[in-house]
Structure formats: structure tokens, C-alpha cells
Amino acid sequence: MKGWYRIPESSKDDDNPISKSTWATGDLGYYFLNDHRFGAMIRNNFSLHHNRGALQFEWSFPLLEWVSGYVQYFYGYGESLVDYDHCVNRIGIGFMFKEW
């Protein structure tokens, strides 16, 4: 689990004023079960009118001795800085190399 706080700036010096109302204040982490890894990230800015939260779920599972499969689902805002103000709904698949 981790959290963060944006240091306030005067409106004259603030180069990104929308981020204060858009970004969340924390997220959650991972759970391991045998060789499987499950992850959940939940972000919420706790605003009733302009809520820009996000959900991300991921799962990695063994395929070969040094390679795991990976599936990730993301829904919400802030997946990238380019699309911080667009709601994204995406699923991704891939591979991960295990630590050796």
C-alpha cells in the first residue's frame, strides 16, 4: 500500500492545476499464492462530482521455468499522462521473466 500528497502551489505558479482534483491519494498492492501473483490497484480521489478513480487487476502465472504469463485489466483515469482526463477500459496480455 502506498499513498502520496501533492504539495500545494499558488495558483500563479501551478503548472498543472487540474491534477489536484483529478489524481487519487493512494493505491494497493499484491498477493502471492504458490507461483501465482495477484495484484489489485484501486485509486479514488473521493470527489462526488469529479471522481477520476481507477481499478487495475493483474495476474501472473507460471508457463515455463523462467517465464510467466501475465494478464492485466485496467478501467478508469490516469493510466498515462497523455490520457489522464479520458476514461480507459483495456485488457492486456504478455510475458514476464522470473527472477533467477
Band of residue 5 on the pLDDT scale cut at 50, 70, 90: low
65 band by pLDDT with thresholds 50, 70 and 90: confident
Closest of 62, 53, 2 to residue 33, by C-alpha: 62
Mean of the per-residue pLDDT values for the chain? Answer: 79
Give dist(CA 88, CA 83) in Å, integer.
8
Read off the pLDDT of residues 34-61 as tens digits, 9 standing for 90 and up: 889 898 888 876 667 777 788 899 999 9
- pLDDT above 80 (res 69): yes
pLDDT at 71 over 80: yes
Q: Output the pLDDT for position 100.
A: 57
CB 98 within 8 A of CB 67: yes
Residue 24 burial by Cβ neighbours in a 10 Å radius (0-12, 13-18, 19+): buried
Of all helices (H) and strands (E), which one includes residue 60?
A: strand 54-62
Q: Which residue has the higher pLDDT, 7 or 86?
A: 86
Q: Read off the pLDDT of each residue in 15-43 and give the average, rounded to a whole number.
A: 72
pTM for the model: 0.69
